[in-house]
Chain A
Amino acid sequence: MANMPYIAAIDAGIHQEMRRDPSVLYFGQNLATTENHEFVKEYGHNRVRVTPISETAEIGIAVGAAMAGFRPVVELYMAEFMLVAMDQVTNEAPRFRYMSGGQVKVPLVLKAGYGFACGWAGQHTGTLTNLFAGVPGLKVVIPSTAADAKGLMATSIRDDNPVVYLHHYLLTLEHGEVPDGEHLVPFGKAAIRRAGGDVTIVATGWTVGLALAAAETLAAEGIHAEVIDPRTIAPLDLETILSSVEKTGRVVLVDQATRHASVSQIIAADIVEHRFSSLKAPILQVTAANTTIPYSEPLEASVLPTAAGICAAVRKVCA
């Protein structure tokens, strides 16, 4: 185990796979512009390259290289920058395996940060997770701990499909224990971050920390919350969520996205469809307000989910 920040753990995952597999490529904007870049030094410019600000070409080139046998990891920095290349992400990369009747595969990783709600205003703060989750052929990964950041990155690179790997910008410097050596975290396997029998809280990314803080407060009040972190939202580990709901009968879903663009909508629908009879109270969702993120600090704080908001929702479903 090594204690390291989330951001370093992501790099550790890329290194792990680049060392063992020469077909892994790493490229994007503003990286590897000098010979001192750690990835350039270790893997050389054939595999590590800086690109112009050309997301459509960057992601399209990744699709082509993947079809031709490589495993590209594209550094995109912010999830929003993928939006200028939305065709490549949602209507090219995930389509070719299917349309070719299984002849080709498109193993690539689109690495992008999201949710940077700390004064980045309207165009750089989105929680675009669910935008990608409903696209057949795409996998969507949202690590919330340093260990998962490494293990999920490695699994993303080994996966034979296009993977949107969304790291949370507010977690960048959060430290955690990260396993040394080969570390892989499976897709479609939720983590139970805290066990409890009274209420099920499902949260992703940065909101996992809010949910855990809320659970701590609630425990002092005698309410024992189970906090589930799906870790990947496509595939989504419904089984773990549903069995928790069977036990608790009460559900609060937390998401940093605006309500109708959130993963919590999908989870809520599936819970209602599959475990309606277990529910003892309506499902409550704690999401961002339905708004573009404002720049001004108090306004920004007021539109995001909070631990206090989660506590209030839990008290309501447990009342």
Chain B
Amino acid sequence: MSVNTPNAERQIWIYTQMLRIRTFEERVKRTFTDHPGVIRGHTHLADGAEASIVGSLSGFKKGDAALATYRCHGYPLVLGSDPKAAMAEIYGRVDGLCKGLGGSMHLTDVAHGFLGTSGIVGAGIPHAAGAAWAAQIRGKEEVVLCFFGDGASKQGAFAETLNIASLWKLPCVFVMENNGYNVVTTSAQEDANAAAGEPLSIKAKAFAMPGVTVDGTDPLAVHAVVSEAVARARAGHGPTLVESKVYRLSAHGNIIAPPGVPLHYPEHEAITVFGNSAEYEAALRGDPVPRFRGILVQNGILTPEHAAKITSEVDAEMQAAVDFALKSPFPTLESALQYNYA
């Protein structure tokens, strides 16, 4: 146990947040079958990455900021956003976090430090560095957490930003959630480091910043690594690249189809494209949510009764989110024109 190990209460909090993300997203997924047509466009789930998300955010302080991608449901739930408002956004309703204008790919909750999400791969990485520069100027030891996928590290924006962030010693932690895939392309098919058997965190070397690879399915391991990087950033020593290894347990997103075709979640690409169900099933056996619950029970931190109580509370919370979002009205048509300019 390192100095960075959260206490028992905090570990239960971490588990609860992981379960909240999982349950929320199960509700998102179920909406496609329970309420066809209610969710439109493209949604992307974080199942399999909950430990990474919560472990990364568990040291988040008021004044810190986080930015992420289209795969963005998990972070705001941990930071304190109301799941009712998050679900209402995904349903395009007026009570949504973004008033129904942004949808699933663009959840934003500035009041809780969740500054923005871009649907363009890699585009959020410089945004995070910009927010970190702002924090550096303010001088209040605030940090910015920047979440993106492994695929995004192949964008020019990644290289350009990591160079500047390191050069300027920006208080930023770059958390690359490496789920092994960019849609249907494996890391080894698109990344020279991966193809050479190197960890993706080695990219940090090109930018003279620390690069660490961590098991992203272990929330305590992620917490330890990210909180050290956060401490470094707060102390003014600059950014870190954290490669957090996860596996996404759903397909990249729901199917892409024109209007009239009912949307749904297909099976994972490991199965549908590569015929590799063994890989997928192994990942499923390592599912971080039940695994962490098992560890907490085994360590005597959580009793089975307490775990069951958390489950039923989270179920009720997320059911309420669905009920609320279904009842929330659509925004007025005028509001479609409202926020183009400040």
Show the binding face of A for B, using Cβ within 8 Å: 29-30, 33-34, 50-57, 80-81, 83-84, 116, 118-124, 169-173, 289-292, 294-300, 302-303
Q: Is B211 an interface residue (CB 8 A)?
A: no
Interface residues on B, range: 35 or more
The 8 closest A-B pairs by CB, nearest first: A119-B40, A119-B41, A295-B103, A296-B92, A52-B154, A296-B100, A52-B190, A299-B336
Looking at A81, A123, A170, A296, the one whose CB has the most chain B CB atoms below 10 A away is A296
Interface residues in B86-128 (C-beta closer than 8 Å to A): 89, 92-93, 98, 100-106, 118-123
B340 touches A54 (CB 8 A): no
B42 touches A303 (CB 8 A): no
**Total A-B Cβ pairs within 8 A:** 141
Interface residues in B173-212 (C-beta closer than 8 Å to A): 182-186, 189-191
Closest-CB distance, A248 to chain B (whole angstroms): 32
A52 touches B101 (CB 8 A): no
B100 touches A299 (CB 8 A): yes
Q: Is B157 an interface residue (CB 8 A)?
A: yes
Q: Is B337 an interface residue (CB 8 A)?
A: yes
Q: Is B139 an interface residue (CB 8 A)?
A: no
| Complex interface: stretch among B28-36, B232-240, B327-335 | B327-335
A54 touches B154 (CB 8 A): yes
Closest-CB distance, A149 to chain B (whole angstroms): 14
B258 touches A289 (CB 8 A): no
Q: Is B300 an interface residue (CB 8 A)?
A: no
Tell me what chain A mostly uses at the interface: helix, strand, loop, or mixed. Answer: loop
A29 touches B120 (CB 8 A): no
A292 touches B190 (CB 8 A): no
Contact partners of B186 in chain A: CB under 8 A: 33
Contact partners of B123 in chain A: CB under 8 A: 84
Closest-CB distance, B245 to chain A (whole angstroms): 19
Interface residues in B120-171 (C-beta closer than 8 Å to A): 120-123, 151-152, 154-157
Cα distance A255–B115 in the bound complex, in angstroms: 34
A295 touches B40 (CB 8 A): yes
Looking at B89, B118, B259, the one whose CB has the most chain A CB atoms below 10 A away is B259
Closest-CB distance, A56 to chain B (whole angstroms): 5
Closest-CB distance, B274 to chain A (whole angstroms): 7
